Structure 1
């Protein structure tokens, strides 16, 4: 067997008699040295995968640099946007007297984030990377516009659907693009490139957000990105389009899988290729199970409300039907959750780690820690923003460090275990120092610990999951991992919302002085009231009652976060300890890194290579 077995070659290798339509182009024929399994995998590759493999062969060094520079520019814009709008969300919801519904906003984001990654991964596989990027930027822009123009919390919440579709679609496409253009040794480092902007936006975001709140309004804080992002996307779109044309001129073009088909056949093919019904089942199940957790405490009748019960029952039924649908080769021949992926212990352990990692995060740092810092600790908007974003900064630094270590050691598993222990320790410290009189330095220290743990967890686990998949399934494996990550975040947000909306009102009524009990609804409904130290000055009975209510509720959230983080440590031992430089790189065309480890040992490191 040849060392580059399984790769689509440029040479004319002769027709083997198959009826595969891609043999109309001799440059895309199967290699005669392919094993039967590899040849079968090639024939099952979808058009988008074949197209990016063809485009990869047409990349020039300049065009690839332009693509990465543009993606890094987009990452700078989106990371600054996240920092700014993250500070604006409590004020947007407070403008509608619904501060407690922050968790519902994050649940909507989490649900959409979870269910949008599979179709975006599928669109990238079926149609191509350029088409997918265009769709995500469109959704992103619509989300910005709708958030800026919303006049009630329902409209603002529905805008999260478009925003989350754009944000998470862009996230998965960035990772897929890196998987297409790098080898395994360099993949972690280049995946981390898109986190580098957080090193400066972490500190710039609170200042920009505060300036927007004081100078204009929270609406403008959303509207400006609808102009900036599409402009920044233009160079990437041009680069991908020009390389598709270059590939076509080189004879590497992949014909549309729908050419020569009727509209009915196209719809049928899309139905199966994108696993539409399976994704609808997943979206329905997650939405109808999680949303009642945040909505029921404030609904008429609470959990006895028929609407809440109906949502839970229908959601549970969809969740039970979903695995059966995905495992049926007849109903879901191109299942988003390929059954063979879940026979791999690294994929299973990696997705569970992602689930618990984000679940714990959304019960501790987000969504209410920022509000807690302003209400209980009396921090300003800027200072509270800085403290909550210490996690982002420290996790980014840690991810860069671990990516470099992986590049030069070719191991990843040890760092995952290390990160899990630090992450769990950080959660414990956050619980221990959540008291009202905790110093700012102590609060920052807990976020540094959690951030270091998160940085050592995130990148290596994703790399291990990707290393377990074939090139056809790299997009699927990546999206499965990211989907479970977001589901964990949605579950954490839902539980946070349930705890917050259950305990804050009752504790406010319990602790507020008799003459202020009637004000509990306005205190609970707006951070502008609960964090107003002039209306409720330090030492006053009202301020003591407010701080006690929020502090005790935050303690419940952190206990839950600690419990969620605990399973991560034993799960790390289930990961396979791959030696990355000895594995099939599963990429074709021009890639960043080494094409063949044996050749590398003879000639030394090369930055550019072709497979």
Structure 2
């Protein structure tokens, strides 16, 4: 008897779950235990049968890993570290070249707009490159990111007008973010959960020393040449250092193809490739973010909100973001952000924490460098080095978190400790920002805060990976990092609004000798108070008092947010980091029970249904169907 199948164009069945849904076992617990010591809920292909929905790139890397021995892995990591070093040095120099380049085009006032473009691209590039890595493959995504990187820097070096300069940022920022994200993907693909934190932190090791070397490199280039060579040299350096890692990965890919184990065949099938991309979801998400944050950052005054182009972006952006989750739940077969991943409690909580962390740091970090130069009388070089203390401190402390994860196989204690240290660091920062305290005391407070940050950022990614199946970790990482970027953009918008509106009022109060034109210069030109009013003069002291008052207000919200992060960290599950790359949540599972049985041991009905399904799937009448399905997969 023929079986009639439903048309293939119907929407997928929704799999939305409440991240705080209480299982029958959890309902017997107290609310205190449920909130602060929750059960670990793992997203697995047993609880969510999406194994057939794996994109080709995700299948391919699982095959390639079978051919990666220790020697190959060692050389791959060495070459990838060279790439990460180049990116670290480049990021430290391009900020200097940006001011020179915009001045060359007589458009220094557009320097802030460059920052807007970069921030938006940072938010939308990671999800896009994640989908490319999952659909086309890791190698293709990395090569595409490098190509974008080279094109962008070629345009920056050879551009003859400001329009080309802005267009170049679309390519080079996309390439830079893509390369950095693929470093994290490679760390995920080549490490088990127990060592995941270490390998995620490893590409950032270059920032420990590159932060101090970048400034002399930029100064030397500008002294002996022009900013064009400063940009152009990365077009030569990046292809050279990226060749080894690309060759290693391509060799493994061709080896898999020769043995008939390659899955990335959708690359040569446009229709099949396109169906896995979830283009509607990508457009809704990226366009929504772009419109919303461009509106927020371009609205520089209260009257700006009434302008037509700002209103259009403010209305359409949130509408697209509102539609996005409904499309992901009901629409595509290969969703960009699977609902069963987003609604996992661990995923939800860590994303909330990293959003709050970014919000807290960038609320005062946005004007950290100007504050050091104006209120602490530091040079550009000294102020930059002081800012880099946080970068170096957070990078080094992340390796200590990795050591704890390796030997104790748990991450919740590290995150709680990081939240406590981070809260202490912000409190010390607030106290030692006063003019009466020495700069060394402020730097120590920044070191304390950096240790807390290092115990939060990378460890929370490892915690996400411990509850999400391997073929979803790229998407989960992209969501996590994008939400962190969203937090920084929101914080920068709030900080900028407070600075522009409150600083002139404080200047009028503490420095009434300034004319409206001079006050405008002090607010909008970093070098104006430094050049016009030398350190120690009454005028400079008045300006310092006004700026300090603004900075004090910028530090109020971070203190409150840091307290919330500390409390919320206790609500995370104490996930287990095992010696595999798939989630397992017990130290000594020697039985053959499934993960679902370990998480919900009293759900007898679910166990019965699972046992019944297993018997049905292995019954004689179904064996030919399984064999036929396997043969069908081999032909694809």
Structure-2 separation of matches of 1:103 and 1:560: 24
- The answer to whether residue 550 in structure 2 is matched with residue 548 in structure 1 is no
Contact 2:301/2:497, CA 8 A, preserved across alignment: no
Q: Of 183, 197, 206, which residue of structure 1 is paired with 2:206?
A: 197
Task: Give the superposition deviation at 1:556.
Answer: 2.7
What per-residue deviation string (whole Å, max 9, x for no partner) do you get for residues 440-466 of structure 1? 202211210111001111121100001
Gaps of 5+ in 1: 1-34, 588-595, 600-611
Structure-1 separation of matches of 2:96 and 2:416: 33
Task: Give the superposition deviation at 1:559.
Answer: 2.2
Q: Of 236, 240, 243, which residue of structure 1 is paired with 2:245?
A: 236
- The answer to whether residue 415 in structure 2 is matched with residue 410 in structure 1 is no
1:69-148 → structure 2 map (5 Å cutoff): 69-89=78-98, 104-148=113-157
- What is the TM-score with the length of structure 1 in the denominator? 0.81
Q: Of 547, 569, 572, which residue of structure 1 is paired with 2:569?
A: 572
What per-residue deviation string (whole Å, max 9, x for no partner) do you get for residues 107-154 of structure 1? 432322221111211111111111000111122223334444567776
Structure-2 separation of matches of 1:597 and 1:129: 32
1:525/1:304 CA distance change after superposition, 3 Å: same
1:206-225 → structure 2 map (5 Å cutoff): 206-225=215-234
Q: Secondary structure at the match of 1:580?
A: coil
Q: Secondary structure at the match of 1:474?
A: helix
- The answer to whether residue 336 in structure 2 is matched with residue 339 in structure 1 is no
1:74-473 → structure 2 map (5 Å cutoff): 74-89=83-98, 104-148=113-157, 156-254=165-263, 256-257=265-266, 259=268, 261=269, 265-266=271-272, 269-270=273-274, 272-297=275-300, 301-328=303-330, 331-365=331-365, 367-473=366-472
1:461/1:376 CA distance change after superposition, 3 Å: same
1:49/1:196 CA distance change after superposition, 3 Å: same
Q: Secondary structure at the match of 1:370?
A: helix
Structure-2 separation of matches of 1:540 and 1:98: 32
Q: Secondary structure at the match of 2:299?
A: helix
1:435/1:213 CA distance change after superposition, 3 Å: farther
Structure-2 separation of matches of 1:469 and 1:253: 24
Structure-1 separation of matches of 2:202 and 2:56: 28
Q: Secondary structure at the match of 2:456?
A: helix
Residue 66 of structure 1 aligns with which residue?
Answer: 75
Q: Secondary structure at the match of 1:493?
A: helix
Structure-1 separation of matches of 2:428 and 2:154: 40
Contact 1:101/1:497, CA 8 A, preserved across alignment: no
1:515/1:65 CA distance change after superposition, 3 Å: closer
What per-residue deviation string (whole Å, max 9, x for no partner) do you get for residues 415-441 of structure 1? 001101111221222222223444220
Task: Give the superposition deviation at 1:220.
Answer: 4.2
What per-residue deviation string (whole Å, max 9, x for no partner) do you get for residues 35-86 of structure 1? 9839944322111111112211122333222211111111111112222334
- What is the TM-score with the length of structure 2 in the denominator? 0.78
- The answer to whether residue 63 in structure 2 is matched with residue 57 in structure 1 is no
Structure-2 separation of matches of 1:65 and 1:409: 25
For the aligned residue pairs, the C-alpha RMSD in angstroms reads 3.0
Residue 609 of structure 2 aligns with which residue?
Answer: none
Structure-1 separation of matches of 2:194 and 2:279: 34
Structure-2 separation of matches of 1:511 and 1:161: 42
What per-residue deviation string (whole Å, max 9, x for no partner) do you get for residues 81-101 of structure 1? 222334555666677787787
Task: Give the superposition deviation at 1:390.
Answer: 0.3
Structure-2 separation of matches of 1:199 and 1:127: 33
Residue 21 of structure 1 aligns with which residue?
Answer: none
Residue 47 of structure 1 aligns with which residue?
Answer: 56
1:478/1:43 CA distance change after superposition, 3 Å: same
1:411/1:87 CA distance change after superposition, 3 Å: farther
Q: Count matched residues.
A: 544
Structure-2 separation of matches of 1:557 and 1:185: 38
Residue 609 of structure 1 aligns with which residue?
Answer: none
The structure with the largest alpha-carbon Rg is: 2
Q: Secondary structure at the match of 1:469?
A: coil
Task: Give the superposition deviation at 1:221.
Answer: 3.6
Gaps of 5+ in 2: 1-43, 592-636
Structure-2 separation of matches of 1:456 and 1:500: 30
- The answer to whether residue 504 in structure 2 is matched with residue 495 in structure 1 is no
